[in-house]
Amino acid sequence: MNDTAYILWGADYLGNKVYEYCAGNNMHVLCFWDKNAENIKYCKGTPVYTPLADKIVERERERENCTIIICIGNNVLRAKLRVLAEKAGFNVLSDMLTLKIFRSALGDPPVFIRSHSLAAMTNEERLSAAFEYAASSNYAMYDHEKYYRERTRFAKNLVFASRGFSPRSVDFFENYVKNNGLVNLTALCGTPKGSFLNLPEYSPEQVAELDDPFVVLLNSNWKDMEEKLRQHGIPFCTLGDLELSVFDHKLEGAWFKAQKEHMLRAYRLFEDEVSKNIFADVVCNRIAPQYSTRRYGELMPFGTSYWDRTIFDIGEHECLVDAGAFDGDSLSSFLDAVDNQFDAVYAYEFDKENFLKLKACAESTPNSDKIFVIPKGVSDKEETVSVGGSSSGGTSICKDGDQTVELVPLDRDLEGKRITFIKMDIEGSEMAALRGSSTLISTQKPKCAISCYHHFSDLWNVPLLLKSLNKEYRFFLRHHSDCVWDTVCYAR
């Protein structure tokens, strides 16, 4: 079999095990086929395509000695797929040899010979399978992200596809283009309203005529546009594909094995099924999309960020800490949520340009005398650090930043103050800031809305830390964007 190139039909747990078997037996795997190819794209560093897609069939069928191994444990389904593949003109490995590979790949007797259907899996099974995949593939999704970042930088004609641009999103994406050096951005596609950098608007047909086009979908759950791009053979990714790791570096397989039980322990803390389902899908989308039941864009419609009244009772005497107050966006939404009735707001923002906007926002409110804007960051100790811009437009702590700022622990800076609500979105420094608020949290039990997406481990470390600081907390999780950003842990 060693002179043959193989297509593995199925990119879930069983397909991964068969791939490992092939790699160890000098069997060249050409690609995977999987019905969820649009979410997976790469598995074990190998492309994943939609089964029997016209262009794929035409290309792969022309190869000599190309054989399909159907990596499906269910005997009936495997037989049906065999018929489809053979009708399309492909060679399919015999069932006897397929089952022999299964047994060798999974152990003898086989430990896994069944259909690994998502519908039949519990959330904990999906989470465990995702961590096992990330560990065995040595975090393949990081390589997936790296590949698409390179494509966006080096394609001759980069195109942004969007349903439209609001004034605020224009500012964001202008910074995104600048921070990522995307000088090859030449056109827009599918924008019914708004404009961006005075770029021309092309149809998918016009994009297909460009030299070496590559499209970035700024809306992750835009299936009709994805289908149009596929029909015209235009390569693409979503914005989420470019930002999966956020602030993380490459995580090793051993790291996933060590973190798995901590992750599951945090999952069990969440109060409602909505939170548990979101947790499972957010985790899977980041490291093993084949185990996710919904894309990011399908997780969104759960109230306004931070002030979700389905979770919190928000009254007219709140004393808010807004850590990472940015330009006043979260302050404005808080004031709307409480109808400008509150006792105090302590808004922290260390970026100088954003601070001036925040200050202007605070001064324009009816109760500005109760809003204290503070040009500092929050952490677990007092120190002066360097900060700079990130690829996604935020400002975070880094070694070679263009600003020097002061950090303070909230326990010290707000000592003696009454605090009823803490909101944090501080570019990956949430864990340190929570440690610096330990006394405040343990004694006052403020409501909390803490961003937990900048580092993958924040998804479980944030609720675990909060629980250790105050055993009475109850936990909820919501996701507020159509990519990896804006997953928020709520505690009440």
Question: Do 311 and 188 share a structural domain?
Answer: no
487 close to 461: Cβ distance less than 8 angstroms: no
Question: Do 158 and 44 share a structural domain?
Answer: no
Predicted local confidence at residue 392, as pLDDT? 47
Choosing from 221, 242, 263, the residue where a domain stops is 242
Closest CA to 244 of 36, 390, 48, 456: 456
Question: Do 400 and 301 share a structural domain?
Answer: yes
Choosing from 116, 151, 169, the residue where a domain stops is 116
User: How many whole angstroms separate alpha carbon 331 and alpha carbon 337?
Assistant: 10
Question: Do 419 and 321 share a structural domain?
Answer: yes
User: How many whole angstroms separate alpha carbon 169 and alpha carbon 179?
Assistant: 15
Counted domains in the chain: 3
Question: Do 473 and 376 share a structural domain?
Answer: yes
For 374-389, the pLDDT digits (tens) are: 999 999 999 998 877 6
346 close to 362: Cβ distance less than 8 angstroms: no
CATH at residue 51? 3.40.50.20
Question: Do 403 and 466 share a structural domain?
Answer: yes
Q: What is the average pLDDT value for the chain, to the nearest integer?
A: 88
CATH at residue 420? 3.40.50.150
Closest CA to 460 of 269, 299, 249: 269
**39 pLDDT tier (thresholds 50, 70, 90):** confident
What are the angstrom distances between the C-alpha of 149 and each of 216, 311, 452? 10, 37, 23
Domain annotation covers residue 250: no
User: How many whole angstroms separate alpha carbon 75 and alpha carbon 333?
Assistant: 55
41 close to 99: Cβ distance less than 8 angstroms: no
Question: Do 154 and 106 share a structural domain?
Answer: no
Domain annotation covers residue 138: no
The identity of residue 160, as a single letter, is F
Question: Do 365 and 220 share a structural domain?
Answer: no
Domain annotation covers residue 428: yes
Lowest mean pLDDT among 55-59, 243-247, 270-274: 55-59
Choosing from 222, 242, 262, the residue where a domain stops is 242
Mean pLDDT comparison of 82-86, 106-110, 298-302, highest-scoring range: 82-86
413-451 burial: b if 16+ Cβ within 10 Å, else e: bbeeeebbbbbbbbbbbbbbbbbbbbebbeeebbbbbbb
Question: Do 465 and 422 share a structural domain?
Answer: yes
Question: Do 339 and 473 share a structural domain?
Answer: yes
Range of the domain at 38: 5-116
Domain annotation covers residue 299: yes
Question: Do 101 and 152 share a structural domain?
Answer: no
Question: Do 455 and 344 share a structural domain?
Answer: yes
